[in-house]
């Protein structure tokens, strides 16, 4: 394990490979840039970031030479933390190097044990971008070649195959290990959409396989990058829902001939919960220019609660998403390594020998290698669960609004919004599908972060279940898009019927834009038809609609 000098030429190649490359420095990766990488943008590595990686690697080697016990380097991992892997005795001999490499190969192989469908390649790239960025914090102690390989894989279109089942949520050790297995040429990857042996792809792309040593294996597998990719995917979908929901709601309110009073500035200022007035303002802007701002003697003083409280459900969902995005930003820009390799570490509490033992100072390196619990992603898991519950309320109100539009007692329109000459069932049966979809969201909103079970000889007796929580949020977003699509089928019909009934009917520019976009593929329902097609059309429109 010779000390690897910083490869300036490699960094220069990365930096100049593409003028549009996303530069990573471990500190300020935005979600937007991370998604750009996921979509295929190349990456470059900031020289100062690679310098941090080199220094932390030097610190690890010096600590090993000095006989320090280092988790995942000189001793084993998990319950095997009490197994001595190697003893340097003051020098990194060929025998010591060979032992370290055997341990690293073994660790990657033994932890590559996952199941289920493979992860979307786009999300694999996202996970790799996240892990590369967190490596550049310098907290892992891996050799610089590991960081270079992440960049090479991303820039040359080599995407490891990663199954989706196996992580308990406190580091995706059985999932992320497949990245390392691909780097050593022993697993499978996707290249140009085709699955090929990793060794074959590395040769074709002129990528030298990793010879793992030191803390390389642990640095590659012990992180939550896959869980964070799943989380970001769900958060992105929820963000789109919160873009379109106010407009869908606006069309429903226009179809109902509803009352704007619940989201007036006077109303929300009277009960100033965080974010409420901002969301109320957004709803007023969505409905600016609508006929709803003109007095109508037939308009009811109080609408059903699902209409009146939507400003609250949307506000709380926005608050939950904002909080989720905050913890995502922390997680993807900081080290979640255990142990944490800290060059020039703060020396607080080093007057105690329990703390001082983690510090090392040599002519080449100074810092600390400290056992951490930074693999814990409970802050993210709890934020995900809160977002799922909040999204459930958004869907609940949408379901109830849709069903109220079917009832003449609330709308003064026809039952099930049937056109004048439609003697069929109109939208009656759609309610079954609507409630069925929403019922799943009730289940998905139940927390799973407490569903942990001790593993690894009971030393790992707690977990966050972040991957499960994130997957459940994503499924909830898929369901909510369908619920909103069903609402769009109903509220556009209600708007058309209202227009026939009320000569003063006028949509706002914002609601009319979405209405017209929907009507391109889903015309007014004058006779019963196969509504599945409309449901699919609305789902696709809402997932891609830009207000």
Tens digit of each residue's pLDDT (9 = 90 or more) over 387-406: 999 999 999 999 999 999 99
Give the residues across from 188 on adjacent strands: 197
The phi, psi pair for 194, rounded to 5°, reads -110, 140
- 31: nearest Cα among 243, 317, 224, 232: 232
Is 343 part of a structural domain of the chain? no
Range with the poorest average pLDDT among 64-68, 353-357, 538-542: 64-68
pLDDT in tens, 226-251: 999 999 999 999 999 999 999 999 99
Is 357 part of a structural domain of the chain? no
Task: Among 223, 254, 286, identify where a domain stops.
Answer: 223
Is 354 part of a structural domain of the chain? no
**Within this chain, do residues 190 and 313 fall inside the same structural domain, yes or no?**
no
pLDDT at 155 over 70: yes
Tokens of 526: 């004058």
- Alpha-carbon span 122 to 327, nearest angstrom: 22
pLDDT at site 71: 60
pLDDT at site 9: 39
pLDDT at site 20: 86
Is 196 part of a structural domain of the chain? yes
Number of domains comprising the chain? 2
**Within this chain, do residues 129 and 266 fall inside the same structural domain, yes or no?**
no
pLDDT at site 419: 94
**Within this chain, do residues 196 and 70 fall inside the same structural domain, yes or no?**
yes
- 140: nearest Cα among 346, 378, 369, 345: 369
- Average pLDDT (18-40) is 94
pLDDT band at residue 14 under the 50/70/90 scheme: very low
pLDDT at 451 over 90: no
- Alpha-carbon span 367 to 341, nearest angstrom: 8
For residues 368 and 63, which has the higher predicted lDDT (pLDDT)? 368
* Mean pLDDT (the chain, rounded): 92
**Within this chain, do residues 126 and 50 fall inside the same structural domain, yes or no?**
yes
- Average pLDDT (533-538) is 98
**Within this chain, do residues 255 and 169 fall inside the same structural domain, yes or no?**
no
Instruction: Map tokens 């590395």 to a residue.
Output: 202
Task: Write the CATH number for 210.
Answer: 1.10.275.10
- Average pLDDT (452-463) is 71
**Within this chain, do residues 463 and 533 fall inside the same structural domain, yes or no?**
yes
pLDDT in tens, 275-285: 999 999 999 99
- Alpha-carbon span 487 to 483, nearest angstrom: 6
Instruction: Map tokens 């010879």 to a residue.
Output: 211
Task: Among 223, 247, 278, identify where a domain stops.
Answer: 223
pLDDT in tens, 401-440: 999 999 999 999 999 999 999 988 999 999 999 999 999 9
For residues 96 and 520, which has the higher predicted lDDT (pLDDT)? 520
pLDDT at 274 over 50: yes
Contacts of 472 (CB under 8 A, 6+ apart): 388, 444, 448
pLDDT at site 3: 42
Is 219 part of a structural domain of the chain? yes
Is 524 part of a structural domain of the chain? yes
**Within this chain, do residues 151 and 201 fall inside the same structural domain, yes or no?**
yes
Give the residues across from 543 on adjacent strands: none
**Within this chain, do residues 429 and 281 fall inside the same structural domain, yes or no?**
yes
User: How many CB atoms are closer than 10 A to CB 12?
Assistant: 12
Could you give the 3-state DSSP secondary structure of residue 455?
strand
Task: Write the CATH number for 491.
Answer: 1.20.200.10
**Within this chain, do residues 147 and 251 fall inside the same structural domain, yes or no?**
no
- Between helix 121-135 and helix 173-183 the angle, nearest 10°, is 90
Range with the poorest average pLDDT among 99-103, 199-203, 264-268, 505-509: 99-103
**Within this chain, do residues 433 and 487 fall inside the same structural domain, yes or no?**
yes
Task: Among 171, 201, 223, identify where a domain stops.
Answer: 223
Per the structure, the complete domain to which residue 176 belongs is given by 8-223
**Within this chain, do residues 391 and 463 fall inside the same structural domain, yes or no?**
yes
**Within this chain, do residues 123 and 239 fall inside the same structural domain, yes or no?**
no
pLDDT at 140 over 80: yes
Is 337 part of a structural domain of the chain? no
pLDDT in tens, 67-115: 777 665 666 555 454 555 555 565 677 887 888 899 999 999 999 999 9
Is 462 part of a structural domain of the chain? yes
Cα within 13 Å of Cα(180), Cβ side: 31
pLDDT at site 453: 67
pLDDT at site 464: 86
- Alpha-carbon span 27 to 12, nearest angstrom: 20
């Amino acid at each position: 394990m010779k000390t690897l000098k910083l490869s300036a030429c490699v960094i220069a190649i990365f930096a100049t490979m593409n003028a549009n490359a996303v530069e990573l420095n471990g500190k300020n990766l935005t979600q937007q840039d991370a998604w750009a990488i996921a979509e295929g943008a190349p990456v470059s590595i900031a020289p100062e970031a690679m310098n941090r990686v080199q220094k932390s690697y030097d610190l690890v080697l010096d600590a090993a030479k000095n006989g320090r016990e280092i988790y995942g380097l000189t001793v084993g991992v998990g319950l095997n933390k009490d197994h001595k892997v190697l003893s340097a005795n003051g020098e990194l001999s060929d025998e010591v190097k060979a032992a370290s490499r055997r341990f690293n190969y073994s660790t990657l192989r033994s932890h590559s044990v996952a199941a289920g469908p493979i992860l979307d390649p786009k999300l694999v790239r996202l996970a790799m971008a996240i892990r590369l960025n967190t490596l550049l914090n310098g907290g892992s102690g891996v050799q610089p070649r590991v960081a270079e390989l992440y960049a090479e894989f991303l820039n040359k279109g080599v995407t490891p195959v990663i199954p989706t089942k196996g992580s308990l949520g406190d580091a995706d050790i059985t999932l992320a290990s497949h990245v390392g297995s691909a780097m050593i040429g022993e697993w499978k990857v996707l290249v140009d959409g085709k699955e090929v042996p990793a060794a074959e792809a590395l040769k074709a792309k002129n990528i030298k396989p990793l010879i793992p040593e030191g803390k390389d294996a642990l640095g590659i597998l012990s992180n939550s990058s896959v869980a964070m990719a799943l989380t970001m995917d769900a958060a992105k979908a929820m963000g789109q829902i919160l873009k379109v929901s106010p407009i869908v709601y606006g069309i429903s309110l226009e179809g109902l001939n509803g009352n704007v009073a619940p989201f007036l500035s006077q109303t929300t200022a009277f009960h100033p919960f965080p974010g409420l007035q901002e969301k109320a303002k957004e709803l007023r802007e969505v409905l600016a220019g609508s006929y709803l701002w003109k007095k109508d003697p037939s308009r009811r003083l109080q609408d059903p609660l699902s209409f009146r409280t939507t400003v609250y459900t949307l506000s709380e969902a926005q608050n939950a998403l904002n909080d989720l995005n905050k913890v995502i930003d922390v997680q993807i820009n900081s080290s979640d390594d255990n142990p944490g390799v800290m060059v020039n570490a703060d020396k607080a509490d080093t007057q105690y020998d329990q703390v001082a033992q983690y510090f090392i100072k040599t002519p080449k390196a100074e810092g600390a290698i400290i056992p951490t619990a930074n693999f814990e992603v409970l802050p993210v898991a709890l934020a995900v669960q809160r977002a799922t519950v909040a999204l459930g309320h958004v869907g609940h109100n949408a379901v109830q609004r849709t069903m109220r539009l079917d009832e003449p007692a609330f709308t003064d329109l026809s039952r099930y919004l049937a056109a004048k000459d439609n003697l069929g069932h109109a939208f009656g049966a759609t309610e079954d599908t609507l409630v069925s979809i929403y019922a799943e969201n009730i289940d998905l909103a139940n927390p799973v972060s407490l569903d942990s079970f001790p593993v690894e000889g009971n030393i790992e007796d707690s977990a966050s279940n972040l991957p499960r929580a994130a997957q459940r949020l994503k499924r909830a977003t898929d369901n909510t898009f369908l619920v909103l699509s069903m609402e769009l089928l109903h509220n556009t019909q209600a708007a058309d019927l209202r227009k026939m009934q009320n000569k003063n009917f006028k949509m706002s520019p914002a609601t009319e834009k979405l209405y017209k976009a929907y009507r391109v593929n889903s015309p007014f329902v004058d006779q019963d038809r196969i509504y599945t097609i409309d449901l699919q059309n609305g789902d696709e429109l809402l997932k891609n609609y830009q207000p």
